Amino acid sequence: MGSPGNSDLILVLNAGSSSIKLAVFDGQLTQILTGIADGIGGSGTLKLGDAKAVRDLPDHATALHAILQELESQGFYITRFAAAAHRVVHGGTTLTQPTRITPAVLTAIKACTPLAPLHNPHNVAAIETLSALAPDLPQVAAFDTAFHASNPEVATRYALPAAIEARGIRRYGFHGISYASLIDSLPTLTGTPLPARLLALHLGNGASICAIRDGKSIATSMGYSPLEGLTMGTRTGMIDGNAVLRLAEEDGIAATHTLLNKESGLRGLSGGLSDMRALLADPSPASAFAVEHFCYWAIRHAGSLIAAMQGLDAVAFTGGIGENAAPVRARIMEGLAWLGAELDIRANAMGATRLHAPASKIACWIIPAQEERMIAGDAQRLLCGE
């Protein structure tokens, strides 16, 4: 497929349950194209740059083939790519750094499917399909759990018998690629060294917080799955296990799974709204309470993570809510005022990179999420043998 060209481009793929997102980066890691195949499983849409078309996308293989055809029609022949890099949600305890995909690595990714049954199979489908369509193209996997492999065992172990822990029931943490990107770009964006004790908040439809000590994750709010921790768009966040058992007994496991993951969080509290922009614009008491719940539990979890670091030097916000919702940032920083954190109100309203007032004892920044760029950089470093 395609004609020869300069092999300097990186294709980044993020395969979900009903979509495949993509981005193309050049040799300087500048993003030059984005796209998405959406609605996989039926009649869907394929968008690549400014081009958009309705396509029949019955499965991931068809969608990926359509993506490659559209890339070629826009001059991005497969031979121009140095590698394809995949966001893989779960790497378990063994896949803890970006890795060149080999048959053994693919087997290990498949072995993690019980840990991420809603995600890893789609990642695997994209890898296998691309291998069939472009067998000579190197492929790389970056794992969303890998950044938290540096957590000590006391942070990752649930208080369960060893035989249960051996089945993989432990805390893993997620949003790792986002956090890795954050510490990679913070010094450049802020003009300051990486803080020794950094509280990083990835706030979006999925939300988590990470305690980063000397550039390494030492604790995070998500656990065995992305359900644990903060109040989220549609996920409950932290909930007592016995409450879950009662719901499963009364309503069934499938209904409880749907409730906890898709019908709770901001959506459940507000009566239907899960988007923070809509909630902030809605004058209803239920929406106001949902926003306050989101902020309150972010502050509560932040306190725990600050204790794990034995102090705090800086706060960084990232993700859709973290980067764009000034009232949420203000409320969370208000909750950290006891530490000497002081927000520059005007800078926060403008969404400036630097959010802290001159007298603040705690630095505060907005660091835009650049997960795709981080994945492309990981692939580039692996290809260069770094």
Catalytic residue positions, numbered: 144
Confirm whether residue 293 is marked as ligand binding.
no
Q: Look-up: residue for tokens 């470093």?
A: 381
H or E element at residue 106: helix 103-111
- Which of 304, 336, 153, 167 minimizes the C-alpha distance to 228? 304
**How far apart, in whole angstroms, are the C-alpha atoms of residue 53 and residue 224?**
38
Kindly compute the dihedral angle of the four CA atoms of residues 378, 177, 307, 333, in this order, to the nearest 10 degrees: 120
Confirm whether residue 87 is marked as ligand binding.
yes
Q: In 191-284, which residue ranges form alpha helices assigned H by DSSP?
A: 241-251, 253-262, 265-270, 276-281
> Two tokens at 63?
């969608």
What are the strands of the beta sheet with 31-38, ordered from one edge?
A: 51-57, 42-48, 31-38, 19-25, 9-15, 81-88, 139-143, 99-100
**How far apart, in whole angstroms, are the C-alpha atoms of residue 68 and residue 66?**
5
**How far apart, in whole angstroms, are the C-alpha atoms of residue 269 and residue 283?**
14
Confirm whether residue 354 is marked as ligand binding.
no
Confirm whether residue 128 is marked as ligand binding.
no
**How far apart, in whole angstroms, are the C-alpha atoms of residue 289 and residue 358?**
32
Confirm whether residue 233 is marked as ligand binding.
no
Confirm whether residue 277 is marked as ligand binding.
yes
**201 phi and psi angles, rounded to 5 deg:** -115, 110
Based on the number of CB atoms within 10 Å of its own CB, is 169 exposed (0-12), middle (13-18) or buried (19 or more)?
A: middle
Confirm whether residue 203 is marked as ligand binding.
yes
**How far apart, in whole angstroms, are the C-alpha atoms of residue 171 and residue 191?**
34
Confirm whether residue 202 is marked as ligand binding.
yes
Confirm whether residue 235 is marked as ligand binding.
no
Confirm whether residue 205 is marked as ligand binding.
yes
235 near 206, Cβ under 8 Å? yes
Confirm whether residue 276 is marked as ligand binding.
yes
Q: Is the dihedral of CA 335, 341, 346, 347 positive or negative?
A: negative
Confirm whether residue 324 is marked as ligand binding.
yes
**How far apart, in whole angstroms, are the C-alpha atoms of residue 74 and residue 273?**
38
Confirm whether residue 21 is marked as ligand binding.
yes
294 near 335, Cβ under 8 Å? no
Residues that constitute the known binding site: 14, 21, 87, 202-206, 275-277, 320-324, 371
Q: Which parts are annotated binding residues for Mg(2+)?
A: 14, 371
Binding-site residues for ATP sit at 21, 202-206, 275-277, 320-324
